[in-house]
Every structure is written in C-alpha cells, then in structure tokens.
Amino acid sequence: MQGISKRFPGVIALNNVSLEVFPGEIVALVGENGAGKSTLMKTLGGIHQPDEGTIQINGETVTISNVNDSMRLGIGFIHQELNVFPNLDVAANVFLGREPVNGGFLRLIDRAKLEAATATLLERLGVDVSPRTQLSELSIAQQQMVEIAKALSLNTRLLIMDEPTSSLTLSETTRLLQVVKDLRAQGVSVIYISHRLGEVTEIADRVVVLRDGANAGTLQRDEITHDRMVTLMVGRALQHVHEPKETSLYPNYFIVENLRTKRYADNAVSFGVGRGEVLGVSGLIGAGRSEVAQALFGVEPALGGRILLDGNELLIKSSQDAIKHGICLIPEDRRHLGLVMDWTIQDNTTLATLTNYAKAGLIDFAAENKVAVEMSQKLRVKAPSVAAKVSQLSGGNQQKVVLAKWLLQKLKVIIFDEPTRGIDIGAKSEIYDLINQLAAEGTAVIVISSDLEEILRISDRVAVMHEGKLTGILPRAECSEEAIMRLAVGSE
Amino acid sequence: MKKELGIFILLLVLCAITAILNPRFLTPVNLQNTARLIGAFGILSLGLGVVIITSGIDLSVGSVMALLGVLLSMAITQWHVPGVVAVLLIIVGGMALGSLHGFLVSKVRIQPFIVTLCGLLFYRGAARFVASDETKGFGNAAGLESLQNLAIGNLFGIPTPFVLLLIASFVMWVLIHRSVYGRYLFAVGNNEDAARYSGINARWIIASAYVVCGALTGLAAVIFAFYTNSVSPSSHGNFFELYGIAAAVLGGCSLRGGEGSVIGILLGTALLQVLQNLVNLLGIPSSLNFAVMGAVILLGVLADQLLKSRKK
C-alpha cells in the first residue's frame, strides 16, 4: 500500500500512509484511537476506497471496490467483534455461501464433504472441535478459530486481525499467538492490530506505527520494545506512575455482603470499597465479575445479600434504584449496553440525566446542547460536533461519551467493567486519569479488568474472583501478576 | 425531515393529478369528506405510530374499534348511560385494553405481534358475542346530536374529526418530539438494553405506549361509531390496523423501532385517504381499491430506498 490518503467530511483520516507486508511475515499495526488503523484496513477490505494512493499485490496494482474483491485477492479479516452465526454449526459457519453441493439441480448440501473439509482446516489450526458443534456452544476463543478457519478456506494469503485477543483469557491468548506463528510458518502474512504491546513484542516481525492518520515510524524485529512503540504512538514518552494510596485511610464506604448472582447462585461475594479508593477486580473471563457489577447496578438484580452505602442498607431492584443512590455502571459492551449507536453524541450524553434539562417534562434543547458540548470538551471527545453519531467515533471516544453520560450527575460509587477494552494507549491513559480524578473527588471506584497491567497500574487494592467466588483481596503491597494469577485460577 | 418532504411532494402530486382528471376533487363537499376521514384515520395512526416507535406493533386496533363501537351503542341505547359518560368510558376502555397489551408485552415478555394478533381475534369474537351478532345503531336517541357532531359535524366549516386530529397531533408532537418521555420512547425502540443501562424504566415506557395507543384507538372508535351510525360487529373496523400501520410506515416509522415522526404519520394518513378518494373519483373499480393502495405503498417505500442508496 503506497501513499494512501482518505478524507471524510471535516477529517483527514489517512494522509499519505504506506504499508508493506512480505509473504510469511507478521506486521503489527499499532497506534492510538483514530490514528487511522481501522480506516487503512477498511481500504484493504473494500469498505473504503482511498482518495489517493495505490494498493499492489505481488507487484500488481489492484482495485478493491468491495468485500468480494478483497476476498478474491486472498485478504481475510478477523474482526474484533466476531462475525459468526451462533445458531449454525462449525462446518456451516466455515463454508457459509460456498457449501459443497451434490444432487444435481436440487443443489443439496454435501454434508460429508463439508464436514471433512472443515475437519481438515480445524486440524491445521490444531483446534479440537467437531464440525457439527453449534457455534453458541463454543467459547469466544474457539469461535475465533472458526473465523480463522473460514479465512483459510478462502485461500487467504494475508490475514488481518483486529484486536484478536481483547476478549480472550491468558491461556487462550497464548494459544492464539501460537496459531498466528504457525500460519506464518505456512507462508501466510498477517497484519496484527493490537493495543496489547506485550503480544506485539512477542510475535511481530515488524511494527508499523500510525499517528494522526500518518506513518509515525517502523520498528524492525530487534528494535521492538514497549517504550519505543509507546513513544512513537503518542509522540512523547508516557509517564505511568500511580501512587497507591494508603488504603487503611479509606474505611469501607460501599459494602457488599454475601451477594449472590443468578449465574453463581451458590457462591456469595463480600467486599468493601472506601471513598477515594480504586478497587481492582481481576479474574478470568466468566469468573462472575460482570454479574456482580450488574447486580450492584440493578440490571440483573441479586438473588440475595446486602448492599450498604455509608452505613445505610440499599434495596437495588433496578437501574433506577442504583442511580438514585448514586451508583453507576460503565458496561463492558459499550456498543449494545453503553450507547444508542444510531444516536448523536448529545443525545447519548444526556440520556441518563435528561430530566435535569427539562421543565414540566419538556426538554430544554438549548440547555441540553450546552451540557453536552461542555462535557465533550471536558473529556476531549474527538468529533466534528456533538451532533455526530457515536457510531462514527473510535472506541476510545465512544467510551468517553459513555463516561460523559454518568459524569453529569453526582456519583458515590462508579463501577467500570473493562473500561479500556479495545481502546488504545493514549485514550487509555486519559481514562485512567479520569478514574484517578473520580477517586480523588471521593467516589468509591470499582474497576473490573482482565488486563493485569491495567489492574496493577490503577488499583489501590485488588479483589480476585474465580468461578463466582472471591478468592482473595490483595493490598497494593502484595499485588503482583503472579499473586493475582494464582488467585484467578483458583489455586492456593 | 427529508423523508417527510418526499411524501409531502408525493401527496401534492397525487392531489394535482386527481384534481386535473376530475375537478370534483376540489369541491368543498369532497374536500370536507376526505378531511373527515383523514381526521378519523389519523388519530388511529398516531396511536399505532407510538407503538411502532418502541419497535412494537398493534394488530388489534380494528377489532378493538368494533368491540368499543358496539359497547358505545349499547351503553347509550340499551343501558341509558349519559352520552358524554359513555364516550369517556369508551376511551378509558381503550386505555384498559392497551394496558393489558402493555403488560403482556413488557412484563410477561410475549412478542407484540402475538399479543395483539390474539387480541385481533379475541375482540372481534367478543364484539360479535356481546352484540349477539346484530348490527348496533344509535337510532334517533335524543340529545345525541352534539356527540354525533364529533364525527359528522363541522367547526367553522372544518370537519370536527379533522379538528380533533389537529389537537391530538399537537399533543402527540409535544409528547414525542419535545418531551423527556418522547426521547425515552425512541431510546427504548432503538436499543432497549442501552436505555435500561441508562436508568430508564424501559418496561414502563413500552407498556405506556400501548396505553397511549389504546386511548387514541378509543377516541377513533367513538368517531367511527358515530360516523357510520351503525356498528356491524363482524365488519366494523376490519383492516383498520393495517391502514394505521401503512400510514405510519409511509410516514417514515421503521418497524425495527426508534424512528418516526408525527408529521410523517399525518402525511402518510392523508396520502392513503387521497388515494381512496382518487380510486372513487377516477372511476377505477372499487374492487381494485386495496390493490391500488398496496401498489402505491410499495412504490413509496421503494422510492425512499432508491433515494437513500442514491445519497450514499
């Protein structure tokens, strides 16, 4: 790809960007939110056409005007949000639209051939799953493998993976990285987009860094270090210091006693958070952390247990109850739970506090606009205006809009569920700053995260869950990746 | 707004064609008649629009109108309930049925299509049973004229139903486009989970949409009962829910929810009634009535799609 430029109304998304990938090479593409990674990849996927620049494959200039062109040229995509049909089985997913047929004009699906071909692909990836298993029965990691199998079945020569490990556990991530390396050994080229620089360091042959829609630099294999990547991405060296607070100074303010959730009805969870404290909640995916958060926020009320705030017992049966008591949740799935994606920044920002900008039930549009603009500026949401649809924003900016929605009211307890999932380094540190600021203002903060680096960076104490049980709460001094992992896998 | 403009132009074109081919279109009598029908159907369509915005549907509207119409007639002529009281009771009755639908949809979590399909069948049967399958009229009951004027009277030369529609539209416009409640309707229709995660009582909002629809259906039921002056329980209101849905969809409501406007619904209703009028005036066999309507709705939606893809 050479000299690629792409303009959108009001924004230059890509400015003379070049990228090359050799056969059997893993190129990591890194950069902040809105740095242009997704737009660049979309030009390869045929979703956007570049305004300038050329794309060459094996020395031949090609035009990719739609998804089919892209597929035919051997380009495969593994999106962050998986594109699978949970109601169909593995074989059907892999060969959807290209089923082998027999039976002449009846075009009956040749099950035997279909399953055999699928089995071969799964074997190539080292996945131990039957082609007949329904997708909904598989873990996210296994579903992702099915997507990779699908890409391989299309004779993919260049595989583009966008944040493939964002919802994987540690062991699944290790497994995926191995598969990517195996694919490289088989001559497949990979463009690997990730914000997890540890993974990038491990597998990339070369790192291409984008910043503000332009090439910011390239690092060869022996030059790849965490710090150098970060420096190129943000254009300056990041300082990441978090002074852990002395937690004994923060007596428990928000207390959860024997909370039981539907998913883990037999396990009760108890913990407390002080004013101004950040409690990290670590654990593997499916440990029941989100369920606790949903119970505290009332969207999936708890089966039992007590919730106390400042000594008063709260009855939380709905999100309205939680909000009334100053408790809010920034959900993990911001596209479906955090935002109305078709709506503007303004409408999303004011959704939870609309009654504050209304008289007698009628909206004061000027007042609404004023707070939305103020909040967007305060959180530095990058967008042409508050009338922009949130679906057009990058993940980090979307998350800021979700935050804006809640910061418009006085909060006592704020729960973050995977606050920086799919968000790049620059926006991440902005979110961390906000979390610290909230704590400094006396809010009790709970941060659920699967990212150990993040947990260690922002928490004053770390609670660890395993299969619905709270296996331990570590004071800051005792926190280390090893100590947390030991509790997370339930070995003690 | 562009969508509304498109349908407005379509409406003007249809009016022009009809007026040119048959000047009788522009006679006061014909205009008054058409406006009267637009008024009655518009009130009904507004109610359906609210439900459709929440991504629901109400198929029971026509049957509810038959049941309420029969009850109105019997209340006044057989049970001697004072007319004004009877009319108010009918509107409350519509709201009660709406509450039932809202409860089944939002609390029991049955799909709106199923709930109101069962309603469509149930209320039709109930209407026929209550009326012993006999057509119920109002006769020449004394003191009814003022109420009957709701349907057949004029206010400063404008048919009363049309005036009522203008009032209802203004109220609904404020409610849908200017109030917090309206914003919540669109939020729930677009993404119920995100609404819930923003602290909106989504179930209550959804249920309330059916109550609003019930109230407007009740009002429309009163107007239609007095308009026809006799209610045949087996045919009164047949297909009316489909007129309402068609008007809402023509006017820009999405059946997926979260989209729609009062102006659009009004224009959609007007278009359908002008179309009916056109079939009558141009001497097209009335048996083709539904075929013409179906074709025009399809063309309208098709044109809208084309314009949309052209823009991209």
| Mean per-residue pLDDT, A417-443 | 87
Q: What integer pLDDT is reported at residue A110 of this predicted model?
A: 86
Interface contacts (A, B; CB < 8 Å): 65
CB-CB neighbors (< 8 A) of B198 in chain A = 319, 351-352, 405
pLDDT of A491 above 60: no
What is residue B107's predicted lDDT score, i.e. its pLDDT? 94
Tokens of A140: 């996210």
Model confidence band, residue A407 (pLDDT cutoffs 50, 70, 90):
very high
Assess whether the region A2-234 and the region A247-488 belong to the same CATH fold.
yes
Judge whether residue A367 has pLDDT over 70: yes
- Least confident range from A71-80, A399-408, B113-122: namely A71-80
- A331-348 confidence digits (pLDDT tens): 998 999 999 999 999 999
Q: Does the pLDDT at position B307 exceed 80? A: no
Selection from B127, B94, B145 nearest residue B232 by Cα: B127
The percent of residues in chain A predicted with pLDDT above 70, rounded, is 95
Tell me the sheet residues that pair with A464: A282, A472
For A254-277, the pLDDT digits (tens) are: 999 999 998 888 889 999 999 889
Interface residue A403 vs chain B (CB under 8 A): no
- Supply the pLDDT for residue B172: 97
Quote the strand ranges of A261-407, DSSP E: 269-274, 278-283, 304-309, 312-314, 327-330, 358-359, 362-363
- Burial class (CB within 10 angstroms; exposed 0-12, middle 13-18, buried 19+) of A79: middle
Bridge partners (DSSP) listed for residue A54: A2
Token representation of residue A69: 């062109």
The counts of H helices and E strands in chain A are 16, 24
A363 touches B: beta carbon within 8 Å: yes
The verdict on a CB contact (< 8 Å) between B198 and A405 is yes
CATH of A2-234, one of 3.20.20.70, 1.20.190.20, 3.40.50.300, 3.30.360.10: 3.40.50.300
Measured between beta carbons, the chain A residues lying within 8 angstroms of B187 are: 340, 343, 351
Interchain pair B180, A361: CB under 8 A: yes
Sign (positive or negative) of CA dihedral B288, B291, B295, B301: positive
Chain B residues in contact with A341 by the CB 8 A cut-off are 191
Residues from chain B contacting residue A359 (CB–CB below 8 Å) = none
Using the beta-carbon criterion (under 8 Å), do B199 and A337 form an inter-chain contact? no
Nearest CA in chain B to A406: B198
Report the share of chain A in percent with pLDDT over 90. Answer: 41
Taking the C-alpha atoms of residue B145 and residue B159, their distance in angstroms, rounded to an integer, is 15
What tokens were used for A218? 């390239």
* Whole-number Cα distances in Å, A145 to A41, A367, A454, A462, B311: 20, 49, 27, 32, 38
A56 sits in which H/E element? strand A52-57
Print burial letters for A110-142: b (CB count within 10 Å at least 16), e (below 16).
eeeebbebbbebbeebebebebeeebeebebbb
| Nearest residue of chain A to residue B193 (CA atoms) | A337
Contacts of A347 in chain B (CB under 8 A): 183
On whether any CB of chain B is under 8 Å from the CB of A299, the answer is yes
Residue A9 pLDDT: 62
Amino acid at A489: V
Domain locations in chain A as residue ranges: 2-234, 247-488
Q: Do B191 and A336 touch (CB under 8 A)?
A: yes
What is the value of ipTM here, to two decimals?
A: 0.88
CATH of A247-488, one of 3.20.20.70, 3.40.50.300, 3.30.1330.10, 3.40.50.720: 3.40.50.300
In the predicted model, is pLDDT for residue B109 greater than 90?
A: yes
Q: Between B184, B190, B197, which is nearest A299 by CB?
A: B197
Tokens coding B264: 């659009």
What one-letter code names the amino acid at B268? G
CA distances from A157 to A4, A189, A206, A269 (A): 21, 6, 18, 49
| pLDDT over threshold 80, residue A196 | no
For chain B, the domains span: 42-269
**Per-residue pLDDT at A248 exceeds 70:** no
pLDDT for A488 = 79
